[in-house]
Amino acid sequence: MYRILKPFKLLIVISLLQSSLSFSSNIENSTNHIKTIVFGAGCFWSVEKKFQETYGVINVESGYADGKNIKPFYKEIIKRENRFNPDNYAEVVKVTYNSNKTNLENLLKTFFEMHDPTQENRQGNDIGVQYRSVVLTSSKEETLLSNKIKNKYQSLLKEKGFGPIKTNIKELTNFYLAENYHQDYLKKNPNGYCPDYSTGVVFSKKLDKFTDNKNLVVGKKILILEAEGCPYCYKLRQDVLNDYQGSFEIFYRKSNELDEIELKSPTWATPTIYFLENGKEVWSHQGYLSNEKFYKSLGRFKLGKTEAYNVAFNQGTDPTYCKEYELFKNTPDGVFIDKLSGAPLFSTKYRFNSKTGWLSFTEAVKDSVTEHMDYSYGMVRVEIRSKSSGIHLGHVFNDGPNGKPRYCINATVLEFVPNLDT
CA angle 225, 229, 233 (to 5 degrees): 40
What pTM was computed for the model? Answer: 0.73
Whole-angstrom Cα distance, residue 382 to residue 315? Answer: 12
pLDDT at position 420 is 52
Exposed e or buried b per residue across 319-337, where buried means at least 16 C-beta atoms within 10 angstroms of its C-beta: eeebebbeebeeeeebbbb
Low-confidence ranges of the chain (pLDDT < 50): 1-5, 7-8, 10-14, 16, 21-30, 421-422
Please give the order of strands across the beta sheet that includes 359-361: 351-352, 359-361, 406-409, 392-397, 381-386, 369-374
- Residue 395: what are its φ and ψ, rounded to 5°? -140, 165
Contact between residue 104 and residue 35 where contact means Cβ atoms under 8 Å apart: yes
Quick check: is 230 catalytic? no
Structural domain spans, the chain: 34-187, 220-289, 313-418
What does 137-191 look like in DSSP terms, one character per residue? ESSHHHHHHHHHHHHHHHHHHHHTT------EEEE---EEEPPGGGTTHHHH--S
- The answer regarding whether domain 313-418 maps to CATH 1.10.460.10 reads no
Q: Which fold has domain 34-187?
A: Peptide Methionine Sulfoxide Reductase; Chain A (3.30.1060)
Q: Which strand (E) or helix (H) includes residue 110?
A: helix 104-114
Q: Three-state SS for 245?
A: coil
pLDDT at position 266 is 83
CA angle 335, 340, 364 (to 5 degrees): 35
Q: Which residues on neighbouring strands pair with residue 352, listed in sequence order? A: 360
Q: Which fold has domain 220-289?
A: Glutaredoxin (3.40.30)
pLDDT at position 26 is 46
Give me the catalytic one of 43, 194, 233, 408: 43
pLDDT at position 191 is 72
pLDDT tens digits, 217-227? 999 999 999 98
pLDDT at position 4 is 47
pLDDT at position 71 is 95
- Residue 230: what are its φ and ψ, rounded to 5°? -85, 110
Contact between residue 254 and residue 227 where contact means Cβ atoms under 8 Å apart: yes
pLDDT tens digits, 339-371? 999 999 999 999 999 999 999 999 999 999 999
pLDDT at position 209 is 64
pLDDT at position 267 is 85
